[in-house]
Amino acid sequence: MKTITIPELKIREIVKEYGTPFHIYDEKTIVDRLNNLISSFDWVDFKEYFAIKANPNPHILKIMQENNCGVDAATVSEIKLAEMAGFSGEEIMFTSNLTTLDAYQYAVERGCIINIDWAADIYELLEAEIIPENICFRLNPGSIENEIMGDSKESKFGSTAGQIKEAIAFLVEQGIKSIGLHTMVVSNENDPQIFGEYTEMLFNFAREIIEEYQIKIDFINIGGGIGIPYQSETEVDVEAIAGAVNESYDKILRENGLQPKIFMESGRYITGESGYLVTRVIKEKETYKKYLGVDASMSDLMRPAMYRSYHYITNLDAEVRGKKKMIEYDVIGSLCENNDKFAIDRKLPESKLGDLLVVHDTGAHGHAMGFNYNGMLRNGEFLYTIDGDIKQIRRDETFEDYTNTVIGGY
């Protein structure tokens, strides 16, 4: 059984004033995860660059800024969101793919670290006289597999080792003295051995580059990818993950007199467990199965539909009634898509119309992946602050918001 870290009374106060559905985040959980990650890597010069894509609300990004993090931006819009929250310059890592010269120009003008996905872009950049001060290359090793990321040979991200070496040789000819390296090959992964293995590969590649091209590597961004326990309350052993990275670092780099900084871009681990989607049962249906229809949909949380991922569900009102009979339900939304389901064949306490359901672990890739299919309007977000207050950080989208980009003449 998973507990909710936000007081039930506070959730019901929001429901009474604003209705359902909505997302809410626990600030204390976010800060606790940040502190745990940072302290676990205290053996090296370390910085966390929070992956904006996980939760791009500027109020959430401001928490990162107040806790000495950087941010990882994938688009110009995400750079702008970072700037809204107070980030600037090298506090922003621009990690994009299929990147246009205009996007590069925007990031370079703002002094962001430019993490180049396709190594050949460097030739186009220099030809266009767009000269980044801080250049990093994203490696696709072609040798790592992960359940969510898949086989890295099939990944659209990054460049091969050979392509990166060619680009570095070119930069050395241009007088570049230092670079960064990056890889991101796992997602929602908690096995320390996996982190040890792929960082060993990355650190070996870094040492090769230093030895072959006599160039300094300022930092190595080992990506994010640390998962969260969607089906249990067991805490992720981040210290063990950091320990596995430390072992690789010592063996390959430190023992050879090399001590580059280590960066990460964790998103899910930082905000995932902080978030909850609160929704209400609006319909009971029975055909070949029993269904609980709720007023949220996959437009509020796409992960179960996209990945068949598991999110724990608490029925607040069934708990008040006292847990008795358990029934197997599909918990569904109202979109015209059969995969609009939050849970399939899930045993839950007997539920009734009007019951409040809380879907756990939605603080990363939840609201951020929302969309407007069927004209569904995106719902509001709230923050439960460390001081115990409720702060609305995004209002519900209105129909006017949805249509304000439509050109007249209809």
**Around Cβ 17, how many Cβ atoms within 10 Å?**
9
Sign of CA dihedral 47, 207, 119, 175: positive
Tokens of 133: 């001060």
270 vs 55: CA distance, rounded Å: 10
Tokens of 336: 């015209």
Residue 51 bridge partners (DSSP)? 72
Which residues on neighbouring strands pair with residue 351, listed in sequence order? none
Is residue 136 among the annotated active site residues? Answer: no
Residues with Cβ within 8 Å of residue 391, at least 6 apart in sequence: 59, 382, 383, 384, 385
How far is it, in rounded angstroms, from Cα 343 to Cα 361? 14
- With 0-12 / 13-18 / 19 or more C-beta atoms within 10 angstroms meaning exposed / middle / buried, residue 348 is buried
Residues 152 and 160 sit within 8 Å (Cβ to Cβ)? no
CB-facing half-sphere around the CA of 89: CA atoms within 13 A: 2
- The CA-based diameter of the chain, rounded to the nearest angstrom, is 73
Residue type, 332: I
Q: 256: number of CA atoms within 13 Å, CB side?
A: 14
Q: Which residue has the tokens 């950091």?
A: 242
285 within 8 A of 331, measured Cβ to Cβ = no
| Single-letter amino acid, residue 338 | N
| Cβ(33)–Cβ(54) below 8 Å | no
User: Could you tell me whether strands 341-349 and 145-146 are parallel, antiparallel, or unpaired per DSSP bridges?
Assistant: unpaired
Tally: H helices and E strands in the chain: 13, 19
Amino acid, single-letter form, for residue 173: E
Catalytic residue among 69, 112, 136, 336: 336
Q: Catalytic positions, please?
A: 336
